[in-house]
Amino acid sequence: MTSPRVVAVRTQRVRVPLHTPFVTALRRTDFAETVVATVEDSDGCLGWGEAPQVWKVTGESFAGSSAALEGPISDVLVGAPGDLSSTGRVQRAVVGNRSAKMAADIALYDLVSRRAGLTLTEYLRGLVGSRSAHRPRAFTDVTLSVGTPDELAQAAAARVRDGFRTLKVKVGTDAGGDAARVIAVRDSVEDVRRQKSIADKVTLRLDANTGWRADDAVAVLSTLADAGVELEFVEQPVARRDLEGMAYVRRHQPYKILADESVFDLEDLVDVIRAGAADAVNVKLAKCGGLTPAIELLEVAKGHGLDRLVGCMMESHLGIGAAAAVVTALGIPGEQDLDAGWWARTSPYAGGITYDGPRILFSDEPGLGIEGVL
């Protein structure tokens, strides 16, 4: 039976206000901006995707993603089969532009899972050969934006009261003060646990977003170790291409190192593995170009013994829904890094995922369950 053909690729810009400013070593923002794409087939079925704008990490913009989707990506998709055989066309359509590729790639998966009458998680489970029949469950950490020790301590206490049990602390803007910030967070969390009689352990993660030099990273992390601070991992301590420096950091302090900005594609992951630069990898759809390359990266990382985390930029509930579906389909354990939608004042969509504190709640509707932009 011949698949319906793609008849149109359309885009619209969506700006999502945040309830709290999001601040890292690379940027500060009060809203998330994204390009929402729809792929329509000859039966009138729509698939939804998105291309988040992240100047400081991917170098991609509204204008660039819109142009790629409306130009070369549309050129290769319109008239092509509306199924996963067309995902390769998307990846080959243009150099770079991974956020735009993410949007088209997700839209194709959403389209085919909708046509099959399956949720995206169910469809992906069948694709990767998972036998799980459990209702999808995914949990996320929450990020503490860069700030003073007092600000971070207050934010940490608030997030623990909100029900989060894994906190990611942004560091890397000031190596001289970073240890004090993390210790303030640790102490604040322990105070709240005692006051509220919280039995659950609160896990801390650090993310330097390439902000340290190797020697500064070792100094900060050694200070934290001496202070008895427990960390699950330290994310991207040094510059993206400084794999030698990251390997040095990994060898000279006790915490696990997670590669993020160092891994956009399979070639990057191979380089990290060969350099012995990381214990784990953070795979993001906007960095690699969608679900197709993300699944490959996650499977290769697993095969080489690396821990896996699925993360996000500041995309909306649409992209988070796709990323969370990958987590549940592949059975990746632990809290992920998918809090971007939680920062939004409200979801900009009718349908799709929602949040209950750290828990991501999935729609029971086919595909991503999104029916429109509000």
C-beta of residue 234 within 8 angstroms of C-beta of residue 254 = no
* Catalytic annotation, pick one of 168, 284, 287, 302: 284
Neighbours of 322 (CB within 10 A): 32
Domains in the chain, start-ordered, CATH in brackets? Answer: 6-117 (3.30.390.10), 138-373 (3.20.20.120)
For 345, the token pair is 């004042």
What mean pLDDT is predicted for residues 341-360?
96
pLDDT-derived band at 26 (thresholds 50, 70, 90) equals low
For 229, the token pair is 């601070």
Examine the pLDDT at 1 and tell me if it is beyond 70.
no
Examine the pLDDT at 58 and tell me if it is beyond 90.
no
Examine the pLDDT at 20 and tell me if it is beyond 90.
no
Residue 44, Ramachandran bin (φ over 0: left; ψ between -120 and 50: alpha; else beta): left
DSSP track, 7-40: EEEEEEEEEEEEEEEEE-SS-EEEEEEEEEEEEE
What mean pLDDT is predicted for residues 116-128?
96
Give residue-wise pLDDT tens across range 211-261: 999 999 999 999 999 999 999 999 999 999 999 999 999 999 999 999 999
Number of residues written out for the chain: 374
Neighbours of 20 (CB within 10 A): 12
* Phi, psi of 57, rounded to the nearest 5 degrees: -115, -55
Give residue-wise pLDDT tens across range 175-188: 999 999 999 999 99
Question: Is 284 known to be catalytic?
Answer: yes
Cα separation, 218 vs 232, in Å, equals: 16
User: pLDDT higher for 133 or 330?
Assistant: 330
Cα separation, 335 vs 343, in Å, equals: 17
Strand ranges (E), 103-256: 138-139, 142-144, 166-170, 203-207, 234-235
C-beta of residue 319 within 8 angstroms of C-beta of residue 345 = no
Question: Is 170 known to be catalytic?
Answer: yes
DSSP track, 173-212: S-HHHHHHHHHHHHHHHHHHHHHHT--SPPEEEEE-TT-S
User: pLDDT higher for 148 or 48?
Assistant: 48
* Catalytic annotation, pick one of 56, 101, 168, 170: 170
- Check residue 131 and give its pLDDT: 82
* pTM for this predicted structure: 0.95
Average pLDDT of the residues of the chain = 95
